[in-house]
């Protein structure tokens, strides 16, 4: 057995996606954004939402692709490197 190796991919996600990723919680998500967030969460698969604050950003959310300005948070995906 070799050592497990992982690659880390970092994402910058909006507040709504952070909660959706971390807790599968969609409370307070506007109905018109629900579909995009749900789709984003499914697209990312399993990620660890660490919640580290990245500050106010205008870049689109890596999860729901929202261009709404707002605070961004760190989410990290660990993927095992296959050899």
- Neighbouring residues of 14: CB distance < 8 A, sequence distance ≥ 6: 61, 63, 64, 66, 68, 70, 71, 72, 73
Looking at beta carbons only, is 44 or 61 nearer to Zn ion?
Answer: 61
Tell me how far, at minimum, the Cβ of 8 lies from Zn ion, in Å.
20
Among 21, 29, 47, 61, binds Zn ion (CB under 5 A): 61
Binding-site member from 21, 41, 63, 75 for Zn ion (CB under 5 A): 63
- HSE-up of residue 39 (Cα within 13 Å, Cβ side): 9
Give residues 40-59 in contact with Zn ion (rule: CB under 5 A). none
The alpha carbons of the chain give a radius of gyration, in whole angstroms, of 14
Under the rule (CB under 5 A), what is the footprint of Zn ion? 14, 17, 61, 63-64, 66
């Amino acid at each position: 057995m070799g050592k497990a190796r992982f690659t880390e991919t970092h994402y910058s996600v909006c507040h709504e996606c952070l909660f959706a990723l971390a807790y599968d919680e969609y409370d307070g998500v506007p109905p018109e954004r629900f579909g995009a967030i749900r789709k984003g969460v499914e697209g990312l698969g399993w990620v660890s939402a660490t919640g580290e604050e990245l500050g106010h950003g205008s870049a689109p959310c890596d999860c729901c692709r929202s261009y709404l300005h707002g605070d961004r948070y760190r989410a990290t995906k660990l993927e095992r490197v296959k050899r």
